[in-house]
Every structure is written in C-alpha cells, then in structure tokens.
Amino acid sequence: MKRKLEVSELIFKILSYVFLTVFAICCLYPFLYAISAAISGREAVEYGQLVLFPKDLQFEAFANMFNNNMFWNSYTNTLFITFYGTLWAMGVAILGAYALSKKRLLFRKGFNFFLVFTMWFSAGLVPQYLNYLNTKEVFNAVGITDDKWLVVIAMGMAAMNIILLRNAFEGVPSEIEEAAIVDGATEFQVLSRVYIPMSKSTIATVALFFAISRWNGYFWARQMISNLNEHPLQVFIRLKLEEFQDPEAMTGWNEAYASDSVIYALIVCSIIPVLIIYPFIQKYFAKGVNMGGVKE
C-alpha cells in the first residue's frame, strides 16, 4: 500500500537532500581544489584565479616531486613502517588476546586491568619521550641503529585493539576448541587453525586500525628518527610545508609553477594510494566503528 507523503515528511526529505548535497560538496571541494592547484600554472595559483577547474595546465610540480629522491625514500619508509609495524603489533595482539580470552587463565582480571589501565591513564608526551630516548639507547647498544625499528617495535600498540580481538575470540564456541584438542591439536594449532579463521573479519579490522595508525604516524617518527633519510612520508610532507610556508625563503622561487603546487601535489600523492584501496577496506571500517561503540 503506497501512501502519500505528508507535507512535513516532504519538507524533511527535501531538507535532507539539500543538506547532504551541501555537506558532500564541502567534503569534496578541498580535494578537488588540491588537485586543480597541483596542476595549474603559477599565476593562477598565486593570484587566486583558481576556483575549481585547473588553469594553464602544467605537470612540472608532480614531475618535481617524482624526481625528488627524498620523496621516494620517505614513501618506502612509510611502507616499511606500515608493513612491519602492523605485522609486529598483530602478532603481539593476537597472542595476548587469545590468552586473555581463555577463562582458565589465572589472574585474568589482573591482566585485563593491566591493559585497560593504559586506556585510562597515559603517562603523557614528555615521559614517553624520555622513555623512547632510553629505548633508543638500548637499541643502539644492541646494534639496531635504524630508528625505523624503534618506531615499529616500541610504538603503536593499542589496548583497545587487543580488547576487540579478545572479544572476538571469546565469541568462538568452546566446543570447537574442545573438538580440536580431542583431535590432538596443540595450543598454537588451536589458535591458528580454529580461532584465527573463525574471527577473520575482526582480525582484518584490527589489522586495518593498526595499519592506518602506522601510515598516519607523524609526531613520534619526527621526534625519534634522527636520520633524515629514514623519515616517513608524513614527516616529509610536514617538513616541505614548513619550508614553503616561509615567505622570505620563497622570494627566490622562479619555477614555472607555484611553490604551493608542490605541496598540493604532495598531498594528492599521499592520498591516492589510500583512495585506491579504500573500496576494498571500506566494509571493515564500517564494522570497526560499530565494534568500537559497545565494548565488552
């Protein structure tokens, strides 16, 4: 049975289309502008002639970026940190979460509190900084001089992610585990053959959380990585921005493109890989946000 829309419903419907359209334009515009500005001519960018569509096309800002070794270096470093960082964090988190999910674990409450307390109380930036400095010394003493490993191993662990994994493992029926044990499976086999396959989507979501935080990591990487060649992409972008924000330093700029175009090109380059994998990870993201809502 179709019924006619009431006036108030119609108004609300129109309102929602208008609102969402405006909001979507606001969301999208900065990106479109960034792309336009990256490929527009110097005059158009500097004298504010650009509104949406590119003017006086040029691709030298991108070429400049691609010819810069530091750019590729930082990209490689980011991939390195993201890959190994996620791997390490997932390994630690899965093992810990599995043990915590077992009712027979002694002092289970204590271990849980040990985790949860770090969500309530964090030491803060300065004590963490001092702590990382000490860690760096230890790492150097045992021969790990590449600070990327410090970032990979010491940073980025999150109690929340472990709790999400633990909850997923707790949801696995214990009969299946018992069946596996009867069949002679060891603890590690139970984990790898039963628990991990049965909570695949949570594991994917948590891995995504770790990977995103690694990819986006900036502050600690900048503080702790002393060798400029080891900096990740985010630090590279920021350093370029700081360099180009100084008007005096930019007076000597005599390229055919604006210095702003370089920054915009850099921004576009750093977003593109995320956009490419976005369709594939979107569903895990939506799942993750719903998991985060209600915990335990």
Partner 1 sequence: MKMKADDYLVYDAGTGKYKEDAEQAVRDDVEKHYWLNVGRAVLKDWRLYLMLIPMILVFLFWRYFPMYELLGCFKVDDSTLDVADQLYAGFSYFKDLFVGNSSLSTEFWAAFRNTFLLSFYGLCFGFPMPIIVALFFNEIRSNIVRSVFQVITYLPKFMSTVVMTSLVTMLVRQASPIAGMEMGVISRFLVELGLISQEVGNAGLLNDPGFFRAIYQISGIWEGAGYDSIVFFAAIIAISPTSYEAAQIDGAGKMAQMKYVVLPSILSTIVIMLINRIGSLLNVGYEKVLLLYNPNTYVTADVVSTFAQRYGIADGLVGIASAAEMLNNIVGMMLVIAANTIARKASDVSLY
3-state secondary structure of 121: coil
Compute the distance between CA of residue 68 and CA of residue 80 in angstroms, rounded to an integer. 19
The position carrying tokens 């100084």 is: 246
Residue 280 token pair? 């594939």
> Quick check: 193 binds partner 1 (CB under 8 A)?
no
What are the structure tokens assigned to 70, written together?
Answer: 């530091």
Minimum distance between the CB of residue 50 and partner 1, rounded to whole angstroms? Answer: 7
Q: Residues 28 to 87: which contact partner 1 by CB under 8 A? A: 28, 30-31, 33-34, 37, 46-48, 50-51
| Contacting residue, 122, 145, 227, 229, with partner 1 by CB under 8 A | 122
**Rule CB under 8 A: is residue 290 a binding residue for partner 1?**
yes
Under 8 Å CB-to-CB from 31, ≥6 apart: which residues? 271
The residues in 132-171 that bind partner 1, with binding defined as CB under 8 A, are: 132, 134-135, 154-155, 157, 159, 162-163
**Residue among 183, 245, 7, 199 nearest 98 (CA):** 199
Per CB under 8 A, contacts with partner 1 among 225-244 are 234-235, 237-238, 241
**Residue from the set 219, 227, 228, 256 that interacts with partner 1 by CB under 8 A:** 219
Kindly list the distances between the CA atom of residue 226 and the CA atoms of 45, 73, 116, 148, in Å, as whole numbers in the listed order: 35, 15, 32, 10
Q: Of 56-64, 79-87, 104-112, 168-176, which part binds partner 1 (CB under 8 A)?
A: 104-112
Decide if residue 293 touches partner 1 (CB under 8 A). yes
Asked whether the beta carbons of 225 and 235 are under 8 A apart, the reply is: yes
Of 89, 101, 116, 61, nearest in space to 264 by CA:
61
143/247 with CB nearer partner 1: 247
Among 188, 197, 229, 256, binds partner 1 (CB under 8 A): 188
Q: Find the shortest distance in angstroms from Cβ 42 to partner 1.
A: 10
Residue labelled with tokens 């909850």: 167
Q: How far does CA 95 lie from the centroid of its chain?
A: 22
Comparison of 47 and 184: residue with beta carbon closer to partner 1: 47
User: What's CA 65's distance to the chain center, in Å?
Assistant: 23
Beta carbon of residue 242, minimum distance to partner 1 (angstroms, whole number): 10
In whole angstroms, the minimum distance from the beta carbon of 278 to partner 1 comes to 6
User: 84 to 103, contacts with partner 1 by CB under 8 A?
Assistant: 91-93, 95-96, 98-100, 102
Number of neighbouring beta carbons within 10 Å of residue 36:
20
In the complex, least distance from residue 183 CB atom to partner 1, rounded to whole angstroms = 17
